[in-house]
Structure 1
Amino acid sequence: MRGAAMSLTAAASGLVVFLLSVSVVPGQNDWGVACTSTEICAVKGSTVEINCTYTYPSTWDDGENTVEKTFWFTKQKGGERVDLTTVSEYAGRVEDLCENNTCTLRIRNLTESDSAEYWFRIITTRDTYWGPPVTLSVTDLQVEMSRSGSSALLQCLSSCPPGHTSYIWFKNRQEVKEDTSSYADFSYDSADSYSCALKGYEDFPSPSVYRPKPPSAEIEEGSSVTLTCSNDENPTANYTWYKEDGSSYLPPLNEKPRLIFSSIQSSDSGQYYCTAENLLGSTRSESIFIDVKYGPKLPSVSVSPSAEIKEGSSVTLTCSSDANPAANYIWYKENQTVFQGAEGSYHFTSISSEDRGIYYCKSENQYGGIKSSSLSIDVQYAPKPPSVSVSPSAEIEEGSSVTLTCSSDANPAANYTWYKKNVSSYLPPPFSDKPRLVLSSIQSSDSGQYYCRAENLVGSRTTDPIFIDVKSNYTWYKEDEYSPKASGQIFTITGFRADHSGKYSCEAQNKIGRRNSTLHQIVVKGSWKLLPLVTIPVVLLAVISLSVFLWIRKKRASRDSSELEQSPGNREEPLPDQGQPEQQDDLQYASVHFSNNRAEPLYSNMRAGQHLGHTEQKEATEYAAVNFKSRAPRTRPEDPAELYSVITKIH
């Protein structure tokens, strides 16, 4: 079997990696675990990741060979290798991630007990294989210090092999130097402290070294504290207590051997000393530092920027609290933890609408914890893609009521505007502040594509058009043309021309049946405005002439009849068979009859379009239906569904 090659990468939290061997890539049909390092040195508390790639033959021992399981182990139990993820010492700290023949072992919060040899094992359907061990060493960093006059020689101590990393040096917690050597030389100052770290893992520095500090006592706030000053003197001395504050004159706190704090507060922290004085002289004690520990005070919370927050902007929530020792902070969103750390700032690089809500923070240390007041984060955002609904959703019939509703998620709430595609006019909803467009009695002319626009101060979105197809109960046809000319009760012809002449019919239909009406429309030369001016007087003159003619004829017949009755020789004899009606084909003179008593008459309307800018003139002429009556019996009954038409000309 071929040698192994394993690649290791360090996690950002603080892994230190040193490469001690050369990679050897195995053949695709060989067993192998690829390793580029056999030793790893990592800092205590950091995270280490070991990445390995394995190969195996697709066939083995004359059979198909597939992987059943891969795992890491460090020891055996009862002769069996134990999967590291099942070992209690690693519970919650170890992950084994595998994808495409590459496996990563990740160990968090390293301890010195994690130092061991780690093996990677492959189990297939035909055999097992494991690669060479990887040795992990977990170490602490320590600073060793020696003085030579005014200089201090420092060394950063670790168990890691020298020459494979750089060292970062800190003075008073500030980075001051980087070197590949573990040694550093500084000018000594008794007020300074020094520490070191490995490059790339500055979050895991060594403990600081510094000169001894005055005696101190850690005291919890609210407790009772007594400071006692004593000295071997004769005669008896007088004692005075002082608190240092940096000024040249310090007022005495107490002129007794004891300084008592019955309930010490955080403001009492500081350095204290006492003096003893008698007739022979005086002496001063060393200072003692009183460090009052206390839990966090009520945190204050703020948001930046403090103005209106728009989606996509950068936002920082800040929580701060006075505490000793310094507090750790936890940010919550509606009781769910979203951030935890020593810094109280929670940062949104690009805040989204999902981030809006109620936030609060909690500051805590070993002496207690306290929650802040709530902070409401209102994220303003443009309308999301609107949705459109149509009610009723079934087939839309002419004359029915139809409601189009537009809705969108937006903050602040969106205003809605409805439009009809390819129509320049604005179609307002019945209520300007509501997202509904109501067509109370929809007509076929309302068919078309509709869309709505949702808009607020942040932005706007427009819906895709939705097609409204109104099924008409009326259809217009022209003689000798198969396709319908129009639908709806009203057929409007614009730009009226001679080729519009012809015979038109209007078909009405419902669920029971359908019926046609017919009207003849004739176009004459000249302006349509002259046609009603000529036609109407001619018709009226004809009616008046006919009426005068009939009246004169009736008067003449009445006078002749009177004369005949007065003449004895001309008296009419009764007919022998007056009970039978006279059978004759004499036609009764026509009478003009305007039919208004037909059951459910159907009217057809034709309108000639008008030019914009002219005063609207509308004249409606109802053409009379002329009924001819004969004394002879009718050969067929009159059709009760006979249709009439109305021609309306718009000039």
Structure 2
Amino acid sequence: MDQVQPNAQGVYSCVAANAVSNQTANSSAELLVYYVPDGHPECMWVPSVNYSHVQLVCSWSGAYPAPELRWRDEAQDPAQDPAQVADSLSLTLNASLLSDGQTVRCTGRHQLLGPGEERTCSFTFRSPYPEGEPLATALEATSVTLTCREVSSVPPADTTWRRGQQQDVIVPGSKYVLSEDGPALKLTILNVSQDDQGVYFCRSQNALAVRELEVYLTVKTSSAYTGAAIGLFIAALIAALAVVVAKTLYASRHRICLGGGFEQIEEDRAEVLSLVDSDDEQLFQDAVPQLPPVTPDPQTTLVQIHRIPSSDHEDAETAEASWQQLEDTEQTDEPEDLVTF
């Protein structure tokens, strides 16, 4: 037989018959197929209701003949570990002798494997480490969900939610809802009230240690949220005013730096206003010519009409035109723009 497979193993019979003498003879033989299964042994743990010990199982099935299995603690002398020829081998360890990071390994050997060749599986013990947000806030009459994740423990830890310093176990009901989302254990508190405010514990335990995540829940009323909103508005308003003041100072920086500050700016502004007032007054007086002396006549009243200039440039032109008109009037003795009443 070529390419013998493990399923070919069994008992085979050969039957011979003589038709002349009507005699038969048979012979049987058993075929044994030595076989090493693919893969490695499997290491598993047996769930336990208490944490005083840990039970492990190493299994490597499908090999013929049965392999030789051995559990070995890498911190101990391998020669002290017993080996057994079996498809499965269990190991019970006292929890008090375990430590975080300790590794135990199951080694499988088979006679078809080469010298020194072996296949293994192992466990590295890890203490639990629950993770989550330590602070939570909820509004009255709403629901809040506290979440705890624990993924590092080996063997897997038993995780529960508890409440208060006495760590009373939380039982699902009309007030509390417990749910699992992958490695996350969630606690939902319904219809939150002030009585629900306080400390909650996510407690994880395996044979190595007990670890807790402390979560403090704060319950607030709607008025508290209103006050917080008002506070945020006031803070934003103050920030906006600060921006306006900063922009104003930045726009006046050249006068502040060169003129000696705000006082100098006010003084300069007062001087400019005084100078403008005096110049405007003198310009107005210069722009309006005086009426020439007129001989009093009880029957006649002379009125000369002048236009007041609207700008500095027009003031000069109008003043010059007015003087020229006055000179022409004096020469002709017939003034223009005169109205006789």
Q: Could you tell me the TM-score, scaled by structure 2's length?
A: 0.30
TM-score of the pair, normalised by structure 1: 0.17
Larger RCO, structure (CA 8 Å, separation 6 or more): 2
Higher strand share: 1
Structure with the higher fraction of residues in helix conformation: 2
